[in-house]
Amino acid sequence: EPEVTQTPSHQVTQMGQEVILRCVPISNHLYFYWYRQILGQKVEFLVSFYNNEISEKSEIFDDQFSVERPDGSNFTLKIRSTKLEDSAMYFCASSEPTQGSGNTIYFGEGSWLTVV
Protein backbone atom coordinates (compact mmCIF):
# COMPACT_ATOMS: atom_id res chain seq x y z
CA GLU A 1 0.00 0.00 0.00
CA PRO A 2 1.37 3.44 -0.89
CA GLU A 3 2.52 5.47 2.07
CA VAL A 4 3.92 8.84 3.04
CA THR A 5 7.54 8.61 4.10
CA GLN A 6 9.44 11.08 6.22
CA THR A 7 13.09 11.65 7.06
CA PRO A 8 14.72 11.93 9.49
CA SER A 9 12.74 9.99 12.04
CA HIS A 10 14.50 11.85 14.82
CA GLN A 11 16.72 14.93 14.82
CA VAL A 12 18.40 16.78 17.64
CA THR A 13 19.48 20.31 16.89
CA GLN A 14 20.85 23.28 18.76
CA MET A 15 18.71 26.35 19.29
CA GLY A 16 19.14 28.82 16.45
CA GLN A 17 20.11 26.20 13.88
CA GLU A 18 18.22 25.58 10.66
CA VAL A 19 16.41 22.29 10.20
CA ILE A 20 14.92 20.72 7.08
CA LEU A 21 12.39 17.93 7.43
CA ARG A 22 11.75 15.89 4.33
CA CYS A 23 8.69 14.07 3.10
CA VAL A 24 7.80 11.96 0.10
CA PRO A 25 4.01 12.09 -0.32
CA ILE A 26 1.98 9.39 -2.02
CA SER A 27 2.74 9.63 -5.72
CA ASN A 28 -0.62 10.61 -7.21
CA HIS A 29 -1.55 13.00 -4.42
CA LEU A 30 -1.60 16.72 -5.10
CA TYR A 31 -2.37 18.22 -1.68
CA PHE A 32 0.35 18.23 0.95
CA TYR A 33 0.31 19.20 4.59
CA TRP A 34 2.47 19.63 7.64
CA TYR A 35 1.11 19.13 11.13
CA ARG A 36 2.90 19.10 14.43
CA GLN A 37 2.29 17.53 17.82
CA ILE A 38 4.05 18.84 20.87
CA LEU A 39 4.58 15.99 23.34
CA GLY A 40 1.31 15.04 24.99
CA GLN A 41 -0.68 17.72 23.19
CA LYS A 42 -3.05 17.91 20.26
CA VAL A 43 -2.17 17.58 16.60
CA GLU A 44 -1.94 21.11 15.17
CA PHE A 45 -2.25 22.18 11.56
CA LEU A 46 0.71 24.13 10.19
CA VAL A 47 0.29 24.50 6.44
CA SER A 48 -1.29 23.09 3.32
CA PHE A 49 0.27 23.21 -0.14
CA TYR A 50 -1.22 22.78 -3.57
CA ASN A 51 -0.12 23.61 -7.09
CA ASN A 52 3.29 24.76 -5.88
CA GLU A 53 2.01 27.29 -3.43
CA ILE A 54 0.72 27.54 0.11
CA SER A 55 -3.07 27.26 0.13
CA GLU A 56 -3.53 27.83 3.84
CA LYS A 57 -1.39 28.30 6.92
CA SER A 58 -2.02 28.59 10.63
CA GLU A 59 -0.85 31.26 13.02
CA ILE A 60 1.89 28.88 14.12
CA PHE A 61 3.41 28.98 10.63
CA ASP A 62 5.27 32.25 10.98
CA ASP A 63 8.24 33.65 9.07
CA GLN A 64 10.67 31.11 10.48
CA PHE A 65 8.85 28.33 8.64
CA SER A 66 8.83 27.65 4.93
CA VAL A 67 7.79 24.79 2.67
CA GLU A 68 9.03 23.75 -0.70
CA ARG A 69 8.50 21.11 -3.31
CA PRO A 70 11.93 21.12 -4.86
CA ASP A 71 11.25 18.31 -7.33
CA GLY A 72 8.43 16.01 -8.35
CA SER A 73 8.56 13.84 -5.27
CA ASN A 74 9.83 15.65 -2.17
CA PHE A 75 8.01 18.09 0.07
CA THR A 76 10.11 19.84 2.70
CA LEU A 77 9.53 21.89 5.83
CA LYS A 78 12.32 24.28 6.79
CA ILE A 79 12.63 25.91 10.17
CA ARG A 80 15.15 28.73 9.84
CA SER A 81 16.19 29.41 13.40
CA THR A 82 14.89 26.79 15.76
CA LYS A 83 13.59 27.62 19.23
CA LEU A 84 13.14 25.33 22.19
CA GLU A 85 9.37 25.43 21.72
CA ASP A 86 9.74 24.00 18.21
CA SER A 87 10.48 20.62 19.80
CA ALA A 88 7.68 18.41 18.56
CA MET A 89 6.71 15.57 16.27
CA TYR A 90 6.19 16.92 12.77
CA PHE A 91 3.82 14.97 10.54
CA CYS A 92 3.70 15.25 6.79
CA ALA A 93 0.49 14.26 5.07
CA SER A 94 -0.95 14.12 1.60
CA SER A 95 -4.38 13.68 0.07
CA GLU A 96 -5.97 12.79 -3.23
CA PRO A 97 -6.33 15.12 -6.18
CA THR A 98 -9.96 16.05 -5.50
CA GLN A 99 -10.79 18.53 -2.77
CA GLY A 100 -14.01 17.07 -1.36
CA SER A 101 -14.75 17.02 2.34
CA GLY A 102 -14.61 13.22 2.36
CA ASN A 103 -11.02 13.03 1.27
CA THR A 104 -8.79 11.16 3.63
CA ILE A 105 -5.35 12.50 4.32
CA TYR A 106 -2.59 10.01 4.87
CA PHE A 107 0.09 10.70 7.40
CA GLY A 108 3.73 9.77 7.54
CA GLU A 109 5.22 8.31 10.68
CA GLY A 110 6.54 11.67 11.77
CA SER A 111 9.87 13.36 12.36
CA TRP A 112 10.66 13.94 15.99
CA LEU A 113 12.55 17.22 16.41
CA THR A 114 14.33 17.98 19.66
CA VAL A 115 15.79 21.47 20.07
CA VAL A 116 18.38 21.78 22.84
Shortest CB 3 distance to other proteins, Å: 10
Q: Is 97 left (phi over 0), alpha (psi -120 to 50) or beta?
A: alpha
Taking the complex as a whole, the smallest distance from the CB of residue 55 to other proteins amounts, in Å, to: 6
Enumerate residues 96-115 that contact other proteins by CB under 8 A. 99-110
Cβ 67 to other proteins, closest distance in Å? 16
- Which of 91, 94, 97, 113 touches other proteins by CB under 8 A? 91
Q: Give the number of residues in contact with other proteins, rule: CB under 8 A.
A: 23
Applying the rule CB under 8 A, the residues between 2 and 61 that interact with other proteins are 33, 35, 41-45, 48, 55-56
What is the C-alpha separation between 52 and 75, in angstroms, rounded?
10
Per DSSP, the three-state class of 84 is helix
